[in-house]
């Protein structure tokens, strides 16, 4: 399980990078986790504005970097895992769409208790809520993170985390980013 300290250190490191370094990280994530990157980039545009997408990409970048530090290592995420996680998370959201706020909050608390990486999930929730607190005083409504899209942002970011967690263990010869290492041919004994 990933510790709060690792999450905080990673968040602080990513929060201080320049726009050029952020682009480097996005390029690296695109090479190492193309399905995750494609999923995130497909979120761009409606309904999220540019500011909201920036926050989502920032949080996703932190989650990716945190998961690279997992004791199990980062797994390559195939597109099927992203689709499965997306479908499951939207089914969860639909189930609680008509429920009251208290029932939804109780479900989130239970989810945190049973979740394989509760600290990372808690980071996503808290970061989305902090965006709300930071922006309450801002004048420009168009540039703030709109309340009606926070839940959708949570579902999308949880999909990314779920896909990392649900991906198969590293295959023989696979590195943390998903690339394959050269494997020498096996030398079997000849039968005489």
Question: Is residue 192 situated within a structural domain?
Answer: no
Number of domains in the chain: 1
Question: Is residue 66 situated within a structural domain?
Answer: yes
For 129, other C-beta atoms within 10 Å of its C-beta total 12
Quote the pLDDT of residue 54. 92
Question: Is residue 36 situated within a structural domain?
Answer: yes
Quote the pLDDT of residue 131. 74
Residue written as token pair 């309340």: 147
Range of the domain at 80: 4-166
Q: What stretch of H or E contains 32?
A: helix 19-32
Question: Is residue 181 situated within a structural domain?
Answer: no
Question: Is residue 178 situated within a structural domain?
Answer: no
For the whole model, what pTM was predicted? 0.82
Question: Is residue 177 situated within a structural domain?
Answer: no
Nearest Cα to 11, choosing from 64, 79, 78, 62? 62
Give me the average pLDDT of each 10-residue run along the chain (192 residues).
96 96 96 97 89 95 96 90 96 77 78 94 93 56 77 95 83 45 38 41
Residue 104 tokens, joined: 């939804």
Quote the pLDDT of residue 64. 97
Q: Are 156 and 56 in contact (CB under 8 A)?
A: yes
Quote the pLDDT of residue 142. 52
CA distance 107 to 96: 9
Quote the pLDDT of residue 175. 47
Bridge-partner residues for 175, per DSSP? none
Quote the pLDDT of residue 57. 96
CA distance 65 to 179: 17
User: 3-state DSSP call for residue 181?
Assistant: coil
Question: Is residue 30 situated within a structural domain?
Answer: yes
Quote the pLDDT of residue 81. 96
Quote the pLDDT of residue 11. 96
Question: Is residue 179 situated within a structural domain?
Answer: no
Quote the pLDDT of residue 83. 97
């Amino acid at each position: 399980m990933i510790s709060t300290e690792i999450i905080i250190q990673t968040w602080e490191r990513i929060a201080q990078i320049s726009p050029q370094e952020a682009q480097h990280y996005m390029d690296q994530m695109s090479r190492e986790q193309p399905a995750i990157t494609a999923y995130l980039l497909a979120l761009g545009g409606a309904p999220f504005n540019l500011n909201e997408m920036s926050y989502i990409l920032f949080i996703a970048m932190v989650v990716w970097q945190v998961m690279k530090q997992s004791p199990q290592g980062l797994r390559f995420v195939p597109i099927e895992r992203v689709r499965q996680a997306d479908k499951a998370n939207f089914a969860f959201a639909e189930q609680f769409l008509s429920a009251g706020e208290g029932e939804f909050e109780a479900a989130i608390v239970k989810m945190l208790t049973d979740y394989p990486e509760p600290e990372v999930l808690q980071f996503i929730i808290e970061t989305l809520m902090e965006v709300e607190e930071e922006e309450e005083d801002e004048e420009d409504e168009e540039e703030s993170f709109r309340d009606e899209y926070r839940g959708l942002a949570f579902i999308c970011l949880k999909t990314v985390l779920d896909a990392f967690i649900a991906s198969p263990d590293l295959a023989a010869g696979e590195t943390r980013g998903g690339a394959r290492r050269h494997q020498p041919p096996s030398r079997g004994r000849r039968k005489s």
